[in-house]
Chains A and B, each alone.
Chain A
Amino acid sequence: MKLSHGVVGAWAASNLVLALVHLAFRPRPLPFFIYIGGSAVVAGFGLAVLLAMRAGHDGPQRRQPRRASAAVVAALGAAMGLTGFAYGWWLSVLGVYLLGVAAWRVRGERLRPGARPWPVALGDAQPADRPALVYHGSSIGTAVPVPADHPAHGPPPPAPPAPEPSATVRRGILLVLLVSAARAIVNVLKGRR
């Protein structure tokens, strides 16, 4: 987990180094400061990741918003607002209205605190209770079950214990098992897959 912000930090730092190397080539000031600026933005992102982790916001997110209509309206508002640059300020004003509508709509899009999405069995967590908001298949077509022999179901159950064999038989079986396991390993090594 430590790596998360480490990756961002190391990346920003290596950019900083490259920017400093640029100094040896006597750049004009602007390119140099652009590079420092870009690295700073990334460093800021890394810092946000670090703070979020400190605050315990990592790990799968359970509570999910139910729809994003405010986002749609807000984007349309932003688009109208900017397009005013081509067609005149009155369009921008209309855009601001849309942003207002978005701000009003945004309330209530989030599930109540404590509500959990329908069974997400992560790690050792128990699946939640009755499905509240559920549909199978989120896109075109319908969900198709995982076939029985699919690895998602884990390795097949071990063979049922055989009736207690005699000591020699047991040793024989052990030998066969060892040999076949060794062969499997040799095969894997040979095939290098």
Chain B
Amino acid sequence: MTATADRPAPVEPVASPGGEPGSIVGWLASTDHKRIGLLTLGTALVMMVVAGGLALTIRTQLAQPQLHVLTNDRYDQFFTIHGSLMIYMVMTPFAIGMGLYLVPLQIGAPNVAAPRTTMFSFWLYVTGAVVMLSGFFTDSGAADHGWYAYPPLATGRFTPGQGVDLWIVGVALTGLGMLIMAGTVLWTALLKRAPGVTMLRLPVFSWSVVASNLMVIGAFPSLLAAVGILAIGRVRPDLFTHNAWNIGYQDVFWFFGHPVVYVMFFPYVGAIAEVIATFAGRKFFGYKFFVVSQLLFAALSMSVWGHHMFTTGQSSNYYFSLTSIALVIPAGIEYFDLLATLVGGRLRFPTAMLFGLAFIPQFLIGGLTGIMAGTPALDYQIQDSYFLVAHWHYTLAAGSLFGLFAAVYFWFPKATGRMLREGLGKAHFWLWFVGTNLTFLPMFWLGFHGMPRRIPTYLPADGFTTENLISSIGAALLGLGAMVFIVNVAESLGRPRYAGADPWQGHTLEWATSSPPPTFNFSARYPIPPVHSYAPLLDLRREREQVRSAVE
């Protein structure tokens, strides 16, 4: 670097924390929240490919009656690891990782609080995923007790072998990692905001991260306790000859298990809120209502876990049914805000917006059938049937996953400085829109006709054939769409089309800095603009328009 009187040139010789910026060490031991965030998001996407591959194999097996693609044991392992990966290793880490990448940018902070602790948590997550998957390489195969590992099935007596042990260790590592990561991000949002960014000027996405990370802090210790109980049961299976411990495990597990469902939901709704507000070109409608209802929603969702235990007959069904159905109120407010933002906006429809819009009706299907499942009288009917499988896939796959991709298409240019191809993006969207509904809609009918979940095959006489075939064809479309997405990413990295700082005319601070942002997010060259609301860049743009029209 030569000393000149001028300002530094835009691209300077580099010397960075922990080695060369592009080097492996520079990434793997980085203290930059953007890198740790991208590592987390990237790992989650890789895990999604693995979990999706397992699901496609399951769907192949079920396409026709009496197929034998997988042995029965393998089938059990596949759906267990598919569900476990999707929940512990994909949707949850991606939700928390988005917060890690975006919150410091949105609040004008140079970095996450405690970056080394955050890197520690990332590595706990990665090793947890590896340990869980390594179960496939043991003699007895991977865990096959379902993603919630009920005892006594999951004890050493009924499921011997190392698969379950490795599952327990993997979940413990990842669970701890996510607890810590959510903690540092929440700490950042609460304490490390730039001057002028008050709590009531936090962007909608950041608020959704606050609400969801509060749930993580309240609920994830319970997951660690649950797998702890399970571990003791592996060593001493007699523990679970007592009802108190069996049902106790269910309580401790679901005290985590329900809130995590909303951890896999809130940040995606927050992302969609930003996407919709941006592409409607107006401020998000009903900001304060949204904030309050998110917090209420989060608090309430800590109190509904017993609805997973209605049919045990050992839970306070009235209480849990009451709280579960009360969830409709905050959810309704959020829906109203999303729709009201759209009405009267000047809409644009890039891929991110399409994914965001499709989320709205699809999640509604998941939510409404959730109310059905939250009604004990109905739940006795549909419990453990494909109706339930359809329900949660509408919330998670047709809902949150669409939110995930809305976020990916929206923030990819910010994170990499390159645009994704719109044409390929739209192909991906339509394949997924059709594929998702083809895959999961028939499952409602299967459930009504009595197809139980977790069965490796069925007979022609059962009458499940047509729906299963349609469902499997849909799954193939999903696989195809995923490939289009991978091609899109490869294409845009290989033959870049550079994105400016603000390709979408965003509303929040991350769009004020370069793409990708400099080390500490904002610099003399990319300063933090004045913040007077939760959409500071929109304010500035309007101010400028007004000045202009007044001058003309």
B119 at the A interface (CB under 8 A): yes
Q: Interface digits, B11-27 against A, CB 8 Å rule (1 contact, 0 not)?
A: 11011111101000100
B350 at the A interface (CB under 8 A): no
The one of A41, A69, A135, A193 that contacts B16, using a Cβ cutoff of 8 Å: A135
A144 at the B interface (CB under 8 A): yes
Q: Are A85 and B10 in contact (CB under 8 A)?
A: no
Q: Are B12 and A60 in contact (CB under 8 A)?
A: no
Q: Are A143 and B519 in contact (CB under 8 A)?
A: no
Residues of B within 8 A of A118 (CB): 519-520, 523
Interface positions of B (Cβ within 8 A of A) = 8, 10-12, 14-19, 21, 25, 28-32, 34-35, 38, 108-111, 113, 115-117, 119-124, 126-128, 131, 162, 165-166, 168-169, 172-173, 176-177, 183, 186-187, 190-196, 198-200, 210, 214, 217-219, 221-222, 231, 244, 248, 251-252, 255, 281-282, 295-296, 298-300, 302-303, 306, 314-316, 318-319, 323, 344-346, 415-418, 493, 496, 498-502, 512-530, 537, 540-552
Q: Are B295 and A138 in contact (CB under 8 A)?
A: no
Q: Are B200 and A11 in contact (CB under 8 A)?
A: no
Q: Interface digits, A130-160 against B, CB 8 Å rule (1 contact, 0 not)?
A: 0111111111111111110011101110110
A8 to B514, CA, bound (A): 33
The one of B214, B520, B548 that contacts A156, using a Cβ cutoff of 8 Å: B548
Q: What 17 additional pairs, Cβ within 8 angstroms, besides A69-B25, A135-B15?
A: A3-B198, A3-B199, A8-B190, A38-B302, A45-B183, A45-B186, A60-B192, A61-B111, A67-B18, A71-B120, A72-B29, A75-B124, A82-B169, A127-B523, A136-B10, A137-B417, A137-B516
Closest B residue to A128 using CB positions: B524
A25 at the B interface (CB under 8 A): yes
Q: Are A192 and B344 CB-contacts (below 8 A) given A65-B116, A141-B416?
A: yes
A19 → chain B closest CB, angstroms: 7
Q: Are A86 and B169 in contact (CB under 8 A)?
A: yes
A44 to B169, CA, bound (A): 27
5 interchain residue pairs of minimum CB distance: A75-B123, A67-B18, A79-B127, A141-B417, A86-B165
The one of A18, A87, A131, A143 that contacts B516, using a Cβ cutoff of 8 Å: A143
A191 to B169, CA, bound (A): 56
Closest A residue to B528 using CB positions: A122
Q: Are B194 and A136 in contact (CB under 8 A)?
A: no
Closest B residue to A110 using CB positions: B116
A119 to B38, CA, bound (A): 24
B30 → chain A closest CB, angstroms: 7
Q: Are A119 and B17 in contact (CB under 8 A)?
A: no
